[in-house]
Structure 1
Amino acid sequence: MTDASKSALILIEYVNDWLSPTGGIYPSFQDRGQVDTAIANSRIALAEARRRGMHVIHASLKFEPTFKVLGDGKFGLRKMMRDYGSFLGEQADFFPGFEPGEGEHVVRERAGGSSVFVGTTLDGYLRNNGIFDVYLAGFSLRQCVESSMRHAHDLGYHTNVLYDASAGYTRKQQDDFLAEIAPFYANAMKTQDFVALA
């Protein structure tokens, strides 16, 4: 295990919109078992990261009702988030158990990008603190987690994805990620292997 103070766990979109039964995006998950497992494993990973003294970073989105920051997005997530009314009010609040702790960095400046590095303080925060070992987890696996993983790889970070602390919309998405995507950009690992690194 590398120096914990030079490593970061990056939690992507642990908010009510994704994880609460009243969340607007919540119904998109077709494999509830995968999501429940991801939440349970994420709690383990977060507790372990805090115990070790790792940097913990909470990356999410929070919009104003006009969604003006998204501009006139005609396609993709910038259009979908506006159409569905995502990440507004209490829906954008952190899901219970995943609220940022004292001194933990919060990234919410994204203007609709799927990578948590785009338009945010994340890269600067990591480099200014000498952090190159990053561990990603969150929702959804094949969108924001995967985009962030690819971006982290291209920026030169030693990138790991806790894939069983993340969830795709279906089991097939997780399987395809492990077989076809992750090997080119990151070390895909289970939460128990992350804990065993200590």
Structure 2
Amino acid sequence: MTDASKSALILIEYVNDWLSPTGGIYPSFQDREQADTAIANSKIILAEARRRGMHVLHASLKFEPEYKVLGDGKYGLRSMMRTYRSFLGEQADFFPGFEPAAGEHVVRERAGGSSVFVGTTIDGYLRNNGIFDIYLAGFSLRQCVESSMRSAHDLGYHTNVVWDASAGYTKKQQEDFLAEIAPFYANAITTQEFVKQV
């Protein structure tokens, strides 16, 4: 069992843009059952992490309308976020049930795009608190969660991905992640395993 005070749950993109039916990114989930299951499981792991006294970090995006932090952003997510007007106003608010509690570390802007470790204070927060056992969960599995997992691996963290508390756009994305990606970078666990392991 890991030392709760030296471990962290990092929740990625639990905001209205992703999780609310009125969100701009919400319709991208072709596998609605997977997304709904991930939301329900995320509530379980968040409650358990808080109960155990783990560090809880909330990583999301909230931009100003000009998206200056992204620069020119000609390709990839840097371009898409501007095109689709993502993470502005109420769409960037935390989805009900996932609001940060007092004392939980919140990161709302990152210049690097997908990985929550690039251009943020997360790595500094973890190292300054002696935390190397981390658990990632969130949206989308094959973009921000995967990118963060790769960064965490390269930075030397003992990285776990709670895969059923995360959702890809399709079932195939989730299956490919489990079979072909996660084994090289992290320990992929279920919500049930998280509750038992932490």
Tell me, in whole angstroms, the C-alpha distance in 1 between the residues paired with 2:95 and 2:60: 11
Secondary structure of the residue that 2:181 maps to in structure 1? helix
Tell me, in whole angstroms, the C-alpha distance in 2 between the residues paired with 1:138 and 1:183: 18
Residue matched to 1:22: 22
Residue matched to 1:92: 92
Tell me by how many angstroms 1:190 deviates. 0.2
Matches within 5 A, 1:39-118: 39-118=39-118
Q: Tell me if structure 2 keeps the 8 A contact 1:159–1:185.
A: yes
Q: What amino acid maps onto 1:40 in structure 2?
A: A
Tell me by how many angstroms 1:71 deviates. 1.1
Tell me by how many angstroms 1:112 deviates. 4.9
Residues 1:123 and 2:131 aligned together: no
Deviations 1:3-39 (A, max 9, x none): 1000000000000000000000000000000000000
Deviations 1:111-168 (A, max 9, x none): 2510000000000000000000000000000000000000000000000000000000
Q: TM-score, normalised by structure 1?
A: 0.99
Q: Tell me if structure 1 keeps the 8 A contact 2:70–2:78.
A: yes
Residue matched to 1:3: 3
Tell me, in whole angstroms, the C-alpha distance in 1 between the residues paired with 2:2 and 2:162: 17
Secondary structure of the residue that 1:69 maps to in structure 2? helix
Tell me, in whole angstroms, the C-alpha distance in 2 between the residues paired with 1:197 and 1:153: 20
Residue matched to 1:150: 150
Decide whether aligned partners of structure 1 residues 195 and 10 sit closer, same or farther in structure 2, where only a CA change above 3 A counts: same
Tell me, in whole angstroms, the C-alpha distance in 1 between the residues paired with 2:167 and 2:146: 11
Residue matched to 2:186: 186
Tell me by how many angstroms 1:109 deviates. 2.6
Tell me, in whole angstroms, the C-alpha distance in 2 between the residues paired with 1:111 and 1:150: 17
Secondary structure of the residue that 2:184 maps to in structure 1? helix
Residue matched to 1:132: 132
Q: Tell me if structure 1 keeps the 8 A contact 2:29–2:169.
A: yes
Q: What amino acid maps onto 1:147 in structure 2?
A: S
Q: Tell me if structure 2 keeps the 8 A contact 1:77–1:112.
A: no
Tell me, in whole angstroms, the C-alpha distance in 1 between the residues paired with 2:177 and 2:139: 13
Q: Tell me if structure 1 keeps the 8 A contact 2:112–2:119.
A: no
Q: How well do the aligned residues superpose, as a CA RMSD in angstroms?
A: 0.7
Tell me, in whole angstroms, the C-alpha distance in 1 between the residues paired with 2:65 and 2:93: 15
Tell me, in whole angstroms, the C-alpha distance in 1 between the residues paired with 2:6 and 2:51: 14
Unpaired segments ≥5 residues, structure 1: none
Tell me, in whole angstroms, the C-alpha distance in 2 between the residues paired with 1:185 and 1:197: 19
Deviations 1:29-77 (A, max 9, x none): 0000000000000000000000000000000000011111111111000
Tell me, in whole angstroms, the C-alpha distance in 2 between the residues paired with 1:125 and 1:112: 17
Q: Percent identity?
A: 87
Q: Relative to structure 2, which stretch is displaced further, 163-172 or 112-121?
A: 112-121
- Aligned residues, how many? 198
